[in-house]
Amino acid sequence: MIERKVKETIIEHNLIEKGDHIIIGLSGGPDSVCLFSVMQSIRKEFNLQIYAVHVNHQFRPGAADEDQNYVEKLCENAGIPCHVFTFDCNRIAREQGVTSEEAGRNVRYESFFKAANRLIKEKAIPAGKIKIAVAQNKNDQAETVLMRIIRGTGTDGLAGIEYAREGEFGTTVIRPLLDVNRKEILAYCEKYGLNPCMDHTNELPLYTRNKIRLELIPLIKRRFNENIVESLTRLSQISREDKAFLWKQARQAFDSLTIRPALWENAPHFRNAVYLDRTGLMDLDTAIRHRVLLMAFKEIGLKQDISALHLKAADHIIESQNVSASLDFPEGFQLIVSYGAAAVCHPSAEGTSFLKNYVLTSKILDINELKEIKGQGPSSVAAFDEQQVLSSLEHEHTELVLRTRQPGDFFRPKGMKGGRKKLQDYFVDQQIPRQLRDQHLLVCIGKEVIWIFEPFLREYSRINENYNIRQDTKRVLMLEIRKKL
Q: Assess whether 283 and 408 both reside in one domain.
A: no
Domain membership flag for residue 232 = no
Q: Domain residues for 386?
A: 354-483
Q: Are strands 461-463 and 448-453 parallel, antiparallel or unpaired?
A: antiparallel
Q: How many CA within 13 A on the CB side of residue 316?
A: 9
Q: Assess whether 178 and 68 both reside in one domain.
A: yes
Separation in Å, CA 466 to CA 112, 367, 398: 68, 18, 17
**In whole angstroms, what is the distance from residue 253 CA to residue 284 CA?**
8
pLDDT digits (tens, 9 = 90+) for 72-94: 999 999 999 999 999 988 899 89
Q: Assess whether 397 and 452 both reside in one domain.
A: yes
Domain membership flag for residue 106 = yes
Q: Assess whether 277 and 376 both reside in one domain.
A: no
Q: Assess whether 47 and 177 both reside in one domain.
A: yes
Q: Indicate the residue among 314, 345, 376 that finishes a domain.
A: 345
Counting as low any pLDDT under 70, the low residues of the chain are 262-269, 348-353, 371-379, 457-459
Burial of 201 (0-12, 13-18, 19+ CB in 10 A): exposed
Q: Assess whether 181 and 65 both reside in one domain.
A: yes
Q: Assess whether 340 and 401 both reside in one domain.
A: no
Domain membership flag for residue 152 = no
Domain membership flag for residue 94 = yes
Using an 8 Å Cβ cutoff, are 57 and 67 in contact?
no
CATH at 340: 3.30.465.60
Q: Assess whether 340 and 399 both reside in one domain.
A: no
**In whole angstroms, what is the distance from residue 158 CA to residue 135 CA?**
20
Domain membership flag for residue 247 = no
Q: Assess whether 335 and 361 both reside in one domain.
A: no
Q: Assess whether 340 and 408 both reside in one domain.
A: no
Domain membership flag for residue 400 = yes
Using an 8 Å Cβ cutoff, are 31 and 185 in contact?
yes
Q: What is the pLDDT of residue 266?
A: 64
Q: Indicate the residue among 318, 345, 372 that finishes a domain.
A: 345
Q: What is the pLDDT of residue 349?
A: 47
The neighbouring-strand residues paired with 400 are: 445
Domain membership flag for residue 219 = no
Domain membership flag for residue 18 = yes
Q: Assess whether 376 and 265 both reside in one domain.
A: no
Domains in the chain: how many in total?
3
Burial of 114 (0-12, 13-18, 19+ CB in 10 A): middle
Q: Assess whether 359 and 307 both reside in one domain.
A: no
Using an 8 Å Cβ cutoff, are 88 and 59 in contact?
no
